[in-house]
Structure 1
Amino acid sequence: MIRFQKDGTDMSLDFYPRLSSAGSMGQPSGFDISSGGLTAAQSLDDDPERWLINTPLLQFDHPKVRLLATRLTQLQATPRQKAMACFAHLRSLPFGAIADSVGTSSLSVLKYGMGDCHTKSTLMVALLRSSGIPARMRFVSLKPDFLHGIVDNGTQPFEHAMTEVLLDGRWLAVDSYVVDLRLAVAARSRLHQEGRKLGYGMHVDGQMSWDGQSHSFGQFHPAHIASMPLHDWGAFDDPYQFYSSVPYVKQRLDWSTRVKWMVGAKMVNRKVASLRLTPAAPAQAAGKKG
């Protein structure tokens, strides 16, 4: 076992259902743009109950997680309305990089009161499963362009997490809760000023809401082919299962890489805070004042 978290949670793949010999790779994508969502029968696993299990990171049986799920959904009549209520809560949390996004539990996300694509998705899946709605995380690789202005990663792709939720027999993918509204508006303003389509954590035409009936993407846009995922790694229960199961990204569990992200997270959060305060580029903002 690996003891990851400050709360002492023990992490091991023994806690998770066993993947096929090829893992999740080679399975059909859970976000088929043309068809508007795969049916449950086309998914990685035919049994929706598979995507209701608990894990050491989801911790959806913890009283604080269950209480939040109940508070968000108790007045909602349908699974779709409940899912949308969970989405609204996640979107309201400020975007913020967490150094150990691979091993951060849903309970820790509540404590931090912020999150990135990995950690917000962990809490999103936990709330949905706590509400009896099958949900999972899908991981893809994106070009680093969408983080222009926040992270300099050269040409190295970033692994991006989104939530897939099973509603009316279809898996719908959504990540537009990752960037909170205030940051999204600031990022879009900066992108328009710079004449860019990607940067500051989102696509200039990325979605900032979700209707519970279709996919909703904030970091890329189907009409902009160059922004689309480079690789679909498949569906997983949480970040730990993904990074522990896929050899290509397993290096993220190394301590040297974890230290790098601890330093990087602070830098990201400083740049995000600056963008929130000054949506317009400094030179242009000064010009407007004159």
Structure 2
Amino acid sequence: MDVHLQPTPILDYDHPSVRALVAKRGWRDLPHGTRIGAVYDFVRDEIGFGYNTSDALTASQVLDDGYGQCNTKTSLLMALLRAVEVPCRFHGATIDKRLQKGVVDGILYRLAPRDILHSWAEVRFEDRWVDLEGVILDADYLTGLRNTVASGRAFLGYGAGTENIDDPPVAWTGNDTAIQKTGVNREFGTYDDPDAFYREHGTNLTGVRNLLFRRLVRHVMNRKVASIRRRASLPTKERAAI
């Protein structure tokens, strides 16, 4: 089997819940490019932006959570792509913590590491590798962000890093997608799967910081994300009052 189609402990696409989802959606019956887009749209918008307990959750655990951030959404996206016989690989990097400012503030922000592990999937399409980094923020969260704190074109913060917050390249068109790329400050290159990357680089937090994140910080961040998402449908008058 092509190494870019194989299951791994993290990319557990043989898990019953993943198999059931793929069968229910009928993704395998779609043409290749449409198949990629359907899986991508599911992970982008039906798996909301949010912070899980760990970067290295299995794809089935992310699916069960129903939300994810860059690293966990990448794992789910890769597992689903491989499940429908679309080759993909993992791209590792770090982002500057300024990209998270606003979702977390004050002392909790100061305690965060300067460099945060980041990743995205690369999919094989038309004999080239295409970046799928734009999967991270769901459409409602992006709209809520525009309705509250995001203004102008270039924007860095609240989980977004883009040259054009009004129209970031997040839709699947057969080309690269991106929503956090301007926050990237270090490249690690490509890996066959997330398992290999985490074996080499570990995950973002360990020890006391990890415990604090799991028990407190991520809940604060998820409440902030939810409050912004709720602003997605604000009338114009209410938007102006924020």
TM-score (structure 2 length as normaliser): 0.82
1:57 to 1:251, Cα distance in 2 relative to 1, 3 A: closer
SS at structure 1 position matched to 2:42: helix
Rounded to whole Å, the distance in 1 between the matches of 2:224 and 2:78 is 28
In structure 2, do the counterparts of structure 1 residues 55 and 74 end up closer, same or farther at CA, with 3 Å as the change threshold?
closer
Q: Does 1:119 align with 2:72?
A: yes
Tell me if 1:275 matches 2:228: yes
Count of residue correspondences? 228
Alignment identity in percent?
26
Question: Which residue number in structure 2 is paired with residue 106 of structure 1?
Answer: 59
Correspondent of 2:95 among 128, 137, 142: 142
Task: Give the number of the structure whose alpha-carbon radius of gyration is greater.
Answer: 1
For residues 185 and 91 of structure 1, do their structure 2 counterparts lie closer, same or farther at Cα, with a shift above 3 Å needed?
A: same
Instruction: Give distance in 1, aligned partners of 2:156 and 2:78.
Output: 26
Give how far 1:194 is off.
Answer: 8.1
Contact 1:140 1:160 (8 Å CA) reproduced: yes
249, 254, 262: which is aligned to 2:206?
Answer: 254
The counterpart of 1:209, out of the listed 171, 180, 183, is 171
Q: Take 2:239 and 2:35, find their aligned partners in 1: how far apart are those partners? A: 45
Say if 1:168 and 1:287 are closer, same or farther in 2 by CA, change over 3 A.
closer
Q: Determine whether 1:170 maps to 2:122.
A: no
- Unaligned segments of structure 2, at least 5 residues: none
Q: 1:233 — aligned with what?
A: 188
Judging changes above 3 Å, is the alpha-carbon distance between structure 1 residues 278 and 210 closer, same or farther for their aligned structure 2 residues?
same
Code of the aligned partner of 2:198: Y
- Judged with a 3 Å threshold, the aligned counterparts in structure 2 of structure 1 residues 257 and 240 are, in CA distance, closer, same or farther, namely farther
Rounded to whole Å, the distance in 2 between the matches of 1:58 and 1:201 is 24
Q: Which amino acid aligns with 2:220?
A: M
Q: Give the whole-Å Cα distance in 1 for the aligned partners of 2:49 and 2:203.
A: 25
Matched, 1:89 2:42: yes
- The structure-2 alpha-carbon separation of the partners of 1:133 and 1:198, relative to structure 1 and needing over 3 Å to count, comes to same
Counterpart contact for 2:96–2:116, Cα < 8 Å: yes
Q: Measure the CA separation in 1 of the matches of 2:8 and 2:34.
A: 25
Distance verdict in 2 for CA 1:62–1:214, change over 3 Å: same
How far apart, in 1, do the equivalents of 2:35 and 2:13 lie? 15
User: Shift of residue 237 of structure 1?
Assistant: 4.4
CA-atom RMSD in angstroms: 2.8
Q: Deviations over 1:44-88 (max 9, x none)?
A: xxxx912112111111122321232232413412x2111111001
Amino acid at match of 1:209: A
Name the TM-score, length of structure 1 as normaliser: 0.70
Relative to total residues, which structure has the larger helix share, 1 or 2? 2
Cα separation, 1, equivalents of 2:213 and 2:194: 15
Report the alpha carbon displacement of residue 259 of structure 1 after superposing the two structures with TM.
1.0
Distance change (3 Å), C-alpha of 1:279 and 1:69: closer
| Structure 2 letter corresponding to 1:177 | V
Alpha-carbon offset, residue 288 of structure 1 = 3.4
Supply the distance in 2 between the matched residues of 1:183 and 1:254 (Cα, whole angstroms): 29
Residue 34 of structure 2 aligns to a residue in which SS? Answer: helix
Counterparts of 2:203 and 2:180 in 1: how far apart (Å)? 24
Residue correspondence of structure 1 range 2-41 to structure 2 within 5 A: none
From the superposition, tell whether residues 73 and 244 of structure 1 become closer, same or farther in structure 2 (CA, over 3 Å). Answer: same
The question of 1:219 aligning with 2:180 is answered yes
Which residue is equivalent to 1:53? 6
Aligned to 1:185: 143
Task: State the secondary structure of the residue aligned to 1:81.
Answer: helix
**Structure 2 CA distance for aligned equivalents of residues 143 and 254 of structure 1:** 18
**Deviation readout 1:152-210 (Å, 9 max, x if unpaired):** 44581222111100112100001212111100111133344488611221132533311
Residue type at the aligned position of 1:236: Y
The residue number in structure 1 matching 2:28 is 74
